[in-house]
Amino acid sequence: MPSNEEKKIAFREERIAHWDRVAKGPRREMGHGYHKRLADMYRMVIPEGLRVLEIGCGQGDLLDALKPSDGVGVDFSPEMIRQAQKRYSHLKFVCADAHDFRLDGVFDAVVLSDILNDLWDVQQLLRNLKHCIGDHTRIVINNYSRLWQPAISRAARWGWITPTLQQSWFTREDIQNLLNLEGYEVVKKSSEVLFPFEVPLLSALANRFLAKMPGFRLFDLTNMIVARRLPPAPRVGDSMPKVTVVVAARNEEGNIPDLFRRIPEMGGGTEIIFVEGGSKDDTYGAIERAIPEHPGRNVKLMRQPGKGKGDAVRTGFAAATGDILMILDADMTVSPEDLPRFYEAIVEGRGEFINGVRLVYPMEKQAMRFFNLIGNKFFSLAFSWMLSQPVKDTLCGTKVMTKKNYDRIAANRSYFGDFDPFGDFDLLFGAAKQSLRIVDMPVRYGERTYGDTNIERWKHGVLLLRMVMFAAKRIKFI
């Protein structure tokens, strides 16, 4: 009886010979619509200009469509690699086995498109990837839905689509489990491509809209998963990241003394940046007077150049020197003493975008009016569906991320444009576009002790709804 290693070698050789034959044969145009739609989905997750690695690259079409700054394709079929290099000479292609290839450097994104079902050992591939990925790297996977197994097998047998050998047919849960076993975490997941053919209007209707809807999603052709490697826990003796807390302050004069007193020192040091937004009271003067009274604190005071909290936050973040960026509302309805929990979640790698949630613990009696609560719950459901990640509270003012990840969001802000005066949606949409792991942090939500809210419930509610509809077109219905 042959050993497992001998079976693996025979498996590999059979597949190399098969894919060499496929590469030399005619291109099957019936699958063109599917691959075109797939490229659209990958471009949504992987922005242009990144360092991208594709395992099982075939003839390089998908890798080229992503427009990487440095694109590397790996495939074990010599004929596939020869044709890929001929077609796309600006990219690099390597003939190697997915289970044990070696490359120099770290990639921003790794593409595993319709390859897992054709592997001998998926865990070995995931383990091997770790030599060329970092904490920021996103592993993007798509795999045929098992529901389509009979149709795809029959279409391949009849020669309508690219023929395959015996497949594993993993479910999405199987893939998630394999990722978990090898130390990866799923950031988001979705099902895509309801109609894998090119028919004007019908293809767009089915794939951009119906494929996202409950009831229809069950019949989607492929499952997409975005994952990241879980970072190692910080070790004793490691230098601790520094923190910047940005406080957008408008008409908050009475809260300034408590803000200085209650914002805690965290990590390697805490910088506090107050961005004052044209207050009617003496908020600016109160901060200015408090700075010399607290000589041990690292505090900056800025005047906001524009309008809206979003502009204030962007102004503060642009001036920040900390490794971790935090937003704290000056009304302190979210307690400053909760900030160390956000810090720990970021440092320990539990998430990359820590989002405060006011809707878990009971609120103080006057903390949030009834219709505001209903609105928040509606936006929570809309966002969780739209971003393919659970987001329980979209409008909590306390949000935390690393400066590196914020810089990535800011660099790609033109995708959505300057559409959000509040700043909450801008950051959440940006985090989702960058496939950051969003984690909810429950906090207790208290009453204001000074001043009135700057939110106009109905006017701003309509504006928020318009922003959701705009973002849905840019994130969900693409």
Which residue is associated with the tokens 């940006």? 430
> What pLDDT does 147 receive?
85
> What pLDDT does 32 receive?
82
Q: What is the rounded CA–CA span in Å between residue 42 and residue 21?
A: 27
Contact 15, 76 (CB under 8 A): yes
Contact 246, 316 (CB under 8 A): yes
CB atoms within 10 A of CB 156: 17
Query: What's the chain's Rg over C-alpha atoms?
Result: 25
Please indicate whether residue 262 or residue 395 has the higher confidence score (pLDDT): 262
Question: In DSSP terms, which residues pair with 225 in a beta bridge?
Answer: 141, 189
For the domain bounded by 4-229, which CATH number is listed?
3.40.50.150
State the average pLDDT for the chain: 88
> What pLDDT does 198 receive?
87
Confidence of residue 81 (pLDDT cuts 50, 70, 90): very high
The domains of the chain are located at: 4-229, 243-475
Sign of the CA dihedral running 410, 416, 417, 423 = negative
Number of H helices, E strands in the chain: 16, 14
Least confident of 272-281, 388-397, 403-412, 467-476: 467-476
Dihedral-angle region of residue 227 (phi above 0 means left; psi in -120 to 50 means alpha; beta otherwise): beta
Please, what CATH class does the domain formed by 243-475 belong to?
alpha beta
Which residue is associated with the tokens 């594709």? 54
Query: Is the pLDDT at 455 greater than 80, yes or no?
Result: no
Please indicate whether residue 172 or residue 184 has the higher confidence score (pLDDT): 184
Dmax of the chain from CA atoms?
A: 86
pLDDT tens-digit profile of 32-58? 889 999 999 999 999 999 999 999 999
Which residue is associated with the tokens 């390859």? 115
Which residue is associated with the tokens 């704290």? 328
For the chain, the residue count is 478
DSSP letter (8 states) at residue 296:
T
CA 205 to centroid of chain Cα atoms: 25
Q: What is the rounded CA–CA span in Å between residue 47 and residue 408?
A: 10
Query: Is the pLDDT at 320 greater than 70, yes or no?
Result: yes
Report long-range pairs for 461-468 (Cβ below 8 Å, ≥24 apart). 461/375, 463/421, 464/375, 464/379, 464/395, 464/422, 464/425, 467/419, 467/420, 467/425, 468/379, 468/382, 468/383, 468/386, 468/425
Answer whether 4-229 and 243-475 agree in fold.
no
Contact 315, 304 (CB under 8 A): yes
